[in-house]
Amino acid sequence: MQWSEVIYGLPTLTLGDTEHADIHAVTYDSREVRPGTLFVAMRGESTDGNRYVRAALDAGASAVVTDSRESFAFADARHVPAALIEHGRQALAIVSANFYQHPERTLKLTGITGTNGKTTTAFLVEGLLRSAGRNSALLGTIETHVVDEVRPSPHTTPESRDVLAIFADAVTAGATEAVMEMSSHALAQERVFGIPVDVAIFTNLTQDHLDFHGTMDAYAQAKARLFQGVGAPAPRIAVVNADDSYAATMQQAASKSETVWTYGIDAAADFQATGVVLRAGETSFALSTPFGSAEVVSQLTGRVNVYNLLAAIAAAVGRGVKLEDAIEFAATLKPVPGRFETVANTLGFSVVVDYAHTDDALRNLITLARELAGNARVITLFGCGGDRDRTKRPKMGRAAGEGSDVVIITSDNPRSEDPAVIAHEALAGVEASGNKNVRIVLDRAEAITLAVNEAQPGDIVLIAGKGHEKTQTAKGVSLPFDDVAVAAAALRKREAQA
């Protein structure tokens, strides 16, 4: 593709003197540059891509798009086509869309934002679309799907170049739909700039990521950008959780959408669940909608999954799936990895691995476990991530202390922080709850083994925080770690001793 084609529609401040180059790839990572690559150098939150322009040109970059006058002048002096732009991430999205021949125009995208429930809802929406015979792409926290191919997901929401590359592969593979988690970071940073969303879902908003956003209001406004459109028109349909305290904020943001549907259990909603019955491995409820009423039965567990199912069914209907088909398909969908994932054993108690990593998610998880445990105990193991919002640590501790019989505080991903400091900040919340049956075991594998050995028949052991993750990050190093595998090994050892 020619330089002029790749930068078509790009708002440039200045163009260099060199006008012609063949572009064979687009990247924002200088380590990926090969001869024929267009390198987009942009300022980020933790680094500045302009520091690597020389390295990119030395590696054979054929052109440079940059938000730095110095980098522009350097590339122009090397007689390489260059463009100076104001907004780096917007430019990355525009040139990537041009390079990949606009796959975002072929796919009908369902975008999902919220603090909790994004991943499960995304899996459910994709499952309903697949059941209806639609080929789709899925981009989310756990993994990426390109029709039938499964790929790892390094980020919840990748940079626009990576999103569009996946979309292009999906179109080639015959996809007509896409389902995508859209984090508040990605919306605020415009990683999804110019990507049109057909159906937008808001799950909920509870405290998280205040290390980045600063305030809950700023966090909410970042989420609301999904409903306003980020460099693209507003979504055709907005699907909003009516039971969440930020529902009105999202509905107001969706004022330019053709249709706004609400869903909920407590508040009056367009997609309303009543008569909810919760059992281990089964949830059922009566569903009323603008398109009729029916009974929904699902293999998913818990009240939180009622919300996820409501959102997914509404989105599927919005994408043209018949309501009766969506309800039929919902009964066949399996639980999502790392979301109330049970670890099998023969010891008479339950072990559950879950991604819950906010106080609200942890409280919901413990409430569900309490309902299922009856008179037996709930043993909760959790940790708090390092280099993240410190104010939620005592809140998570309080949630664990108030709902659990036994609390074990351990390491999550401490990153650059001291795990002991993190644990004691969480401990303050447990102590404030009045729960005195609490221990700190910083080695996560040792803590999981302790929780398994503590359990008696009927108890429920909750291993919270990491869910599907397969690594643990500490002191700048990510090492293999899988909660499910560690719990399974501890259970096998105890079973052998029984």
- Structural domains present in the chain: 3-99 (3.40.1390.10), 103-330 (3.40.1190.10), 341-497 (3.90.190.20)
Q: For position 298, what pLDDT does the model report?
A: 96
20: left (phi over 0), alpha (psi -120 to 50) or beta: beta
Please enumerate, by residue number, every residue annotated as part of a binding site: 30, 114-120, 156-157, 183, 189, 191, 388, 412-415, 465, 469
Q: For position 47, what pLDDT does the model report?
A: 82
Please enumerate, by residue number, every residue annotated as part of a binding site for ATP: 114-120
Q: Please, are residues 33 and 39 in contact by the beta-carbon 8 Å criterion? A: yes
Measure the CA–CA gap between 260 and 199, rounded to whole angstroms.
10
Q: For position 280, what pLDDT does the model report?
A: 76
pLDDT tens for the chain, 498 residues long, are 999 999 999 999 999 998 999 999 999 999 999 999 999 999 877 789 999 999 999 999 999 999 999 999 999 999 999 999 999 999 999 999 999 999 999 999 999 999 888 999 999 999 999 999 999 999 988 899 999 999 988 776 789 999 999 999 999 999 999 999 998 888 988 889 999 999 999 999 986 555 555 688 888 999 999 999 999 999 999 999 999 999 999 999 999 999 999 999 999 999 999 999 988 788 999 999 999 999 999 999 889 999 999 999 999 999 999 999 999 999 999 888 888 888 989 999 999 999 998 898 899 899 989 988 889 999 999 999 999 889 999 999 999 999 999 999 999 999 999 999 999 999 999 999 999 999 999 999 999 999 999 999 999 999 999 998 999 999 889 999 999 999 999 999 999 998
Please enumerate, by residue number, every residue annotated as part of a binding site for meso-2,6-diaminopimelate: 388, 412-415, 465, 469
For residue 44, the tally of other CB atoms under 10 A from its CB is 12
HEC secondary structure over the chain: CEHHHHCCCCCEEEECCCCCCECCEEECCHHHCCCCEEEEECECCCCEHHHHHHHHHHCCCCEEEECCHHHHHHHHHCCCCEEEECCHHHHHHHHHHHHCCCHHHCCEEEEEECCCCHHHHHHHHHHHHHHCCCCEEEECCCEEEECCEEEECCCCCCCHHHHHHHHHHHHHCCCCEEEEECCHHHHHHCCCCCCCCCEEEECCCCCCCHHHHCCHHHHHHHHHHHHHCCCCCCCCEEEEECCCCCHHHHHHHCCCCCEEEEEECCCCCCEEEEEEEEECCEEEEEEEECCEEEEEEECCCCHHHHHHHHHHHHHHHHCCCCHHHHHHHHCCCCCCCCCCEECCCCCCCEEEEECCCCHHHHHHHHHHHHHHHCCCCEEEEECCCCCCCCCHHHHHHHHHHHHCCEEEECCCCCECCCHHHHHHHHHHHHHHHCCCCEEECCCHHHHHHHHHHHCCCCCEEEEECCCCCCEEEECCEEEECCHHHHHHHHHHHHHHHC
Provide the β-strand partners of residue 274.
286
Residue 123 CA, distance from chain mean position = 11
